[in-house]
Amino acid sequence: MNETKKNLIPNRKWWKEAVVYQIYPRSFKDSDGDGIGDLRGIISKLDYIKSLGIDVVWLNPIFASPNDDNGYDISDYQTIMKEFGTMEDFDEMLAGMHERGIKLVLDLVVNHSSDEHKWFKQSRSSRKNPYRNYYHWWDEEKGKPAKRWSFFDVNGDAWKYDKATKSYYLHYFSEKQPDLNWENPKVREEIYKMMRFWFDKGIDGFRMDVITFISKDTTFPELPEKYHGNFIQYYAEGERRHEYLQEMNRKVLSWYDIMTVAEGPGTTTENVLEYVAEDRPELNMAYHFEAIDLGLQPPERRLLDPNGWSLIDFKNVYSKWDAVFAEKGWGTIYLGNHDQPRMVTRWGNDAPEFRELSSKMLTTFLMTMRATPYYYFGDELGMTNIKFDKIEDYRDIMTINLHKLIEKEGGDIEQLIESHKISGRDNGRTPFQWDDTANAGFTSGEPWLKVNPNYETINAELQEIDENSTLNYFRNIVKYRKDNPVLIYGKYTLVDKDNPNVYAFTRELYGKKLLVLLNFTEKESSVKTYLDLSRAKFLLGNYPNPSVNGTLKPFEAVILEF
Ligand code: NOJ
């Protein structure tokens, strides 16, 4: 597309045109042999990151933390986690990214802190302490507070009794993650000050952890009837959430050229614009769970019903979410992250004959939708779930505590173990597979989580030299997206919507029209496009001999131009 046409595109923004690459620092590259990835490890791999062609790196939390939940429990927001390095390492890493034209987004975890944060230590020390109201307390004399569910608690209980002051405190996640009290203006000011500290250092944005949960009804009533069975929705509908995000925007975000993305549990197509419409203004983007949770019953336990979703459901969800942003706001798209299994295992097929094909097909999906792609490290290699068969191998507090909870309830442990082979979070957290040396070249020590034994055949070094590897496919398609604004801004139209095997859609912008065909199955499958395919030009695909007649080979992906 020529420059004049590009200039016609309304509301262009760098973060709409970006491809975000998410790195889980604990598992990327260890530089000092302690078995835990670190910032110097990332620094040593900046050229690799640059070679992918991505624009933005999102790093999971790198701040001081006792690591009850791998850094999502922060004890000091302005210090680097000691396992990860120092502030000097951070500055060097940021400079190294910026020199290479890569932006950096950090994780903002402010629904809760660690119980080892100095605010909480003060807060729990006495009912009269000035920090008392930084957290949510319920005094014992008022009786037991109304039930709140905790994601990671061994009893599923979000209220923890604290002997020192004879009160309960609230923790939606583990008992070492007490919820901050956003209703207290001092807490908000402290958070804004800390955000400015990082922006003034030059970071380019924040991904905001469970930001939809920050506002709470501090009378803590019984859950209203309409939320029974759906406490996530209740947590996400706190009355003052938008007031707080607008305040944050006014006082901090609007002063910088940065991007923001909400982790958005509880966002729906009906309410998402309240977070991301330009005229609010609050945040730039949000990511939802409607598609990624298909088949999880119930989502908070990550128990998977393998027949609980179909490609038709999947297409409907993504098409519905595309439509929301037709006039306002902007979407996101992802199929994996540190809370999810490996995308090829969950949405493709990780058997040797289909692993590469289905990885490439899923990558094609992510890079051709009208939304900013968030691509998870290791997916470019087609890394797969490790599928632990014993609880002792897990390191994730979520799986470990669910196991304890289900054991206590006398529930079905076998079902948990089997389900978590597909859905457990540690599957996406195993160390990055650099080469075929010991521990996949990730560490010279003992890795904090087992390395997937398939590293001997699935690793970056091997894929570098193979021009047809999933790694090189990723590089090509990233470049292709960036060179073709139709893939970023073009109108999306679902084609052959009732086709149970093929996801087909067109993208159109100023006279350019592309057709994307994705076979999500192991079988040859046909699609009815009602387009004259004989006129189409083949652009990109995952087979050496692409199908251009509407009948696709197993897991085939093709992009055609009209
Ligand atoms: C969402 C994060 O992505 C997840 O990893 C974490 O455990 C919870 N929020 C709690 O911070």
Q: Mean per-residue pLDDT for 156-181?
A: 98
CA distance between the termini of the chain:
14
Residues paired with 107 in a beta bridge: 207
Distance 89 CA to ligand 1 centre (A): 25
For residue range 485-538, list pLDDT tens digits in order.
999 999 999 999 999 999 999 999 999 999 999 999 999 999 999 999 999 999
State yes or no: pLDDT of 306 exceeds 80. no
- Report the nearest-CA residue for atom 10 of ligand 1: 72
Amino acid at 510: Y
pLDDT at 3: 72
pLDDT at 302: 86
Residues paired with 504 in a beta bridge: 495, 517
Which of 72, 179, 374, 399 is the pocket-test mutation for ligand 1 (most atoms within 8 Å of CB)?
Answer: 72
- Report the nearest-CA residue for atom 5 of ligand 1: 339
Q: How confident is the model at residue 6 (pLDDT cuts 50, 70, 90)?
A: confident
- Report the nearest-CA residue for atom 6 of ligand 1: 72
Index of the ligand 1 atom closest to the CA of residue 111: 11
Among residues 69, 73, 175, 263, the one annotated as catalytic is: 263
Q: Mean per-residue pLDDT for 78-97?
A: 98
pLDDT at 5: 78
- Cβ 135 vs Cβ 180: under 8 Å: yes
- Report the nearest-CA residue for atom 8 of ligand 1: 72
Which of 107, 173, 396 is the pocket-test mutation for ligand 1 (most atoms within 8 Å of CB)?
Answer: 173
Rounded distance between C-alpha atoms, residue 330 and residue 13, angstroms: 10
- Report the nearest-CA residue for atom 4 of ligand 1: 339
Distance 390 CA to ligand 1 centre (A): 23
- Report the nearest-CA residue for atom 2 of ligand 1: 209
State yes or no: pLDDT of 4 exceeds 80. no
Distance 71 CA to ligand 1 centre (A): 9
- Cβ 87 vs Cβ 65: under 8 Å: no
Q: How confident is the model at residue 281 (pLDDT cuts 50, 70, 90)?
A: very high
* Pocket (CB within 6 angstroms of ligand 1): 69, 72, 109, 173, 209-210, 263, 338-339
Average pLDDT, the chain: 97
Distance 521 CA to ligand 1 centre (A): 32
pLDDT at 1: 67
Rounded distance between C-alpha atoms, residue 206 and residue 10, angstroms: 24
Q: Which of 134-143, 164-173, 265-274, 291-300 has the lowest mean pLDDT?
A: 291-300
- Report the nearest-CA residue for atom 11 of ligand 1: 72
Index of the ligand 1 atom closest to the CA of residue 112: 11
For residue range 354-380, list pLDDT tens digits in order.
999 999 999 999 999 999 999 999 999
Distance 465 CA to ligand 1 centre (A): 36
State yes or no: pLDDT of 61 exceeds 80. yes
Half-sphere exposure of 367 (CA within 13 A, CB side): 31
- Cβ 504 vs Cβ 495: under 8 Å: yes
Q: State the DSSP code for 419.
A: H
Index of the ligand 1 atom closest to the CA of residue 109: 11
Distance 12 CA to ligand 1 centre (A): 31
Enter the tokens of residue 380.
């470019």
Catalytic residue status for 209 = yes
Among residues 73, 209, 356, 426, the one annotated as catalytic is: 209
Catalytic residue status for 263 = yes
Enter the tokens of residue 227.
């939320």
- Cβ 501 vs Cβ 525: under 8 Å: yes
Distance 340 CA to ligand 1 centre (A): 11
Cα 443 to chain centroid distance, Å, stands at 25
SS3 257: coil
Rounded distance between C-alpha atoms, residue 252 and residue 103, angstroms: 19
